[in-house]
Structure 1
Amino acid sequence: MVEINDQKLAELLKQMEGEMPSQVRTRIDDTLASLPERKKKMKKSTMIASGIVASVAILLGAGFTNNTMAQVLQSIPFVGSVFTHSKDSTLKTTVEKGLSQTINKSATDKGITVTVNEVIFDGTRVSIGYVVQSQQDLDDNVNPSIGFKIDGKQPGNYGVGGNSERYDDQTILGVMHLDSSTQLPDKFELDVNFNKLGDTEGNWNIHFPVEEITSENKVILPMEKKESGDISLIVEKVTFAPTSTEVVYKLKQPAEREMELSFELYGSDGKALEPLSMFKENGTVKISYEPFKTIPKEITFRPQLRHDQEIDEKLSKLEMNLQLNLSALKSRGS
């Protein structure tokens, strides 16, 4: 551990101004930016620099060899919020509102460290921000193979989606979304096992608690029914959450003529939301869509079945327009 005061640190960084690679400069800038404001303003405080300053000393004495560079980047951990680096503006907004849960738990295997950085659970899906870091350059494709346990048990029916992007040659930032066909408890213990990263198999198991945020959730229970011949649709519940919009409905149709239907969800502006996941179980269907930026005054739930105009006209009778009284929307749990 190296102890250095702010003035010496500034001098070292200034000496390296013209030599420092951009990825190292970015990592140091992000680290400094993440420090608590109180510490930034202290004039006579010292900084314990097991990360940044030790790395600066290595750089000055080693001439930026490839091996040293890898060690330096490995020794400066990613700090801050993975979600704020995501292209998903919803996650960024949720973090800005202080609704994300900081985890920062890691597991290392095969020379690769995986860190669960933070999590958001808004009652409809679990979003996990993670970091993959190695002393060797990582491939662009490190999309993980993952297993889950909730309170020590394998969930019966769930889906996983997400994306990742390069932060620097040795670091990948990723976001994954866990959707379940059944309602998850408001608090639970989550085990995430990264068993494969790209082509590399290993065991990166991380255990952490998850707690639902409900202050932003709004729920309506329409229980509205539409019929078209021998087909009936009942929309039972709509949840407006920070990271998704969830619709629960029942669709009844003759088994011998059962059709595979999709449903589009529109707001007052007439723009269709992007679907995220869908589960079917015992006649009940749950679809998650991207979230509304603001809850609209009206939503439209529209069935779709292409390639057969006659059936499309029949299904148009199932289209449902729901007027929303925004002041009367219930918060989940109220």
Structure 2
Amino acid sequence: MSAWQDQTEHEQMEQIRRTVQNKKMPQVSYTDDIMKRLGEMDGGSGKLTYKKGTWIKRVAVSASAAAVLGGLVLGSGFVSPAMAETLKNIPLIGSVFQYNFDRSLQQASKSGLTTTPHLSVSRDGVTLNIKEVMFDGTRLVFMIERQGVEDERIMSPYLPEDAVSVEGNTLEKVPVEKQKKGYLFTPKVFIEGQKMVYGSFTDAVGKKEDGKLIDNMAMYEITKGLSEKNLSDEFEITVKVNVSGFHEPFEFQVPVKNLSKNKILLKPDKTQSSGTFSYTVKQIELTPVTTRLIVDSKGKVPSTAEQSGDLSATKMYYDIVDQDGNQLEQHMLGLFHRSPDSEYHEDEAYSPFTKTPTSITIMPYTMTVKKDWSVIEDQEGNWAKTYHKDLEMTIPVPSQ
């Protein structure tokens, strides 16, 4: 330990170079990236030459990276500040999903259900990487990493070229030539040649081990319409990412693998009704990463005495619990600023069960809104739910 402290910065660099070169890496590209970063030292002066935007800023070395570097401990007592800065700016190594806000993606990472395709496209100093992919047969998620841009913002502030108003009118846009380079528009994803319509795109991808938000990353996710395609366990998708300042999209052919082999598919086709309202559970899918519920409903949503006058009921929503009352977390909950429709086709994703349940109970509920469509909250500040006990439905899960 003292020998390490007595070394010059140049000697420290050389020791780490040797460690990296002699260490078996999880992926070949990691060695190349790390050696390239270490190579930015000026050999004559022993000072670090660091160009902002070339590498991800403020990325802490992950646990896997620490293991790769031979278990070196980083800190003021063991390495110089310049050395710590060098290692800090090595690209994030290993799974990005392990740091995600979504606990099911964290679990998918820990269980080895994700893939790392290592695809990269560079243009005029801007590089996009497809960092990690997860597909469990019903849900597809991939992470995009950006390099070469000196801006913490990654989502584009500009309108896309095909943007139109609600009335269908063309909106005024900033010409590509006047846009700052490097901001990402929502990707366009094609599966079997068909463009996928239902997808979400966010830069809220997680926190690193030091508690700081991960920057220069964005996540695209599809939770609807995949199961119906009966996709094989291995296939390719086309991802086109328009980037501000560029006329042509950054395009990737991304291999996708379904590593989740324990899918349970239920098709109860069971109906429950109350008054003129009824709903039918068409399908339930259980994977180690996702629970998927498909429901068709029709009729007027029932209201309670409190949901009258200036207050009214929303559309029907559905909670899911197992035989012990353990409730799943719904992946995304949408609110609409209008009265409920008379018919709905629901395709919703939830967190996975920790273990295969013996039965599943569907618990329909509404929320209460004011005239301005704001939702009534409970004492804890959460949206207040009104459960409809007479609409509950229990579905047995056959032993596997």
TM-score (norm 2): 0.59
Q: Indicate whether 1:247 and 2:276 are aligned.
A: no
CA contact (8 A) 1:78 1:131 kept: no
Q: Which moved more, 1:75-84 or 1:101-110?
A: 75-84
Structure 2 counterparts to residues 282-297 of structure 1, below 5 A: 284-297=345-358
Cα distance 1:121–1:55, how it changes in 2: closer, same or farther (>3 A)?
closer
Structure 2 counterparts to residues 108-119 of structure 1, below 5 A: 108-119=122-133
Q: Which residue of 1 aligns with 2:254?
A: 208
CA contact (8 A) 2:328 2:351 kept: yes
CA distance in 2, matches of 1:227, 1:170: 46
SS at match of 1:164: coil
| Sequence identity percentage | 21
CA distance in 2, matches of 1:93, 1:178: 18
Task: Summarize deviations over 1:71-128 as a string: whole Å, max 9, x none.
Answer: 5769955442222232333223323333223311111235221111221211111011
Q: Which residue of 2 aligns with 1:302?
A: 363
Structure 2 counterparts to residues 123-142 of structure 1, below 5 A: 123-134=137-148, 136-142=149-155
Q: Indicate whether 1:150 and 2:176 are aligned.
A: no
Q: Which residue of 1 aligns with 2:276?
A: 230
CA contact (8 A) 2:126 2:146 kept: yes
SS at match of 1:137: coil
Q: Which moved more, 1:165-174 or 1:143-152?
A: 165-174
Cα distance 1:31–1:165, how it changes in 2: closer, same or farther (>3 A)?
farther
Q: Which residue of 2 aligns with 1:262?
A: 317
Name the amino acid aligned to 2:192: D
SS at match of 2:268: coil
CA distance in 1, matches of 2:103, 2:214: 25
Q: Which protein has the bigger strand share?
A: 1
What is the aligned residue count?
Answer: 293
Q: Which residue of 1 aligns with 2:34?
A: 52
Cα distance 1:139–1:214, how it changes in 2: closer, same or farther (>3 A)?
closer
CA contact (8 A) 1:148 1:193 kept: yes
CA contact (8 A) 1:31 1:78 kept: no
Q: Indicate whether 1:176 and 2:215 are aligned.
A: no
CA distance in 2, matches of 1:170, 1:321: 41
RMSD of the alignment, in Å?
A: 4.4
Cα distance 1:51–1:284, how it changes in 2: closer, same or farther (>3 A)?
closer
Q: Which residue of 2 aligns with 1:88?
A: 102
**1:60 deviation in Å?**
4.4
Name the amino acid aligned to 2:393: M
**1:239 deviation in Å?**
0.7
TM-score (norm 1): 0.70
**1:139 deviation in Å?**
0.8
CA distance in 2, matches of 1:32, 1:269: 52
Q: Which residue of 1 aligns with 2:236?
A: 189
**1:245 deviation in Å?**
0.5
SS at match of 1:302: strand
Q: Which moved more, 1:265-274 or 1:120-129?
A: 265-274
Structure 2 counterparts to residues 273-284 of structure 1, below 5 A: 273-277=328-332, 284=345
CA contact (8 A) 1:31 1:79 kept: no
SS at match of 1:191: strand
CA distance in 2, matches of 1:17, 1:300: 63
Which of 35, 38, 43 is 2:25 aligned to? 35
Q: Which protein has the bigger helix share?
A: 1
Structure 2 portions without partners, runs of 5+: 58-88, 157-183, 304-312, 335-340, 370-385
**1:216 deviation in Å?**
2.1
Cα distance 1:193–1:229, how it changes in 2: closer, same or farther (>3 A)?
same
CA distance in 1, matches of 2:295, 2:55: 53
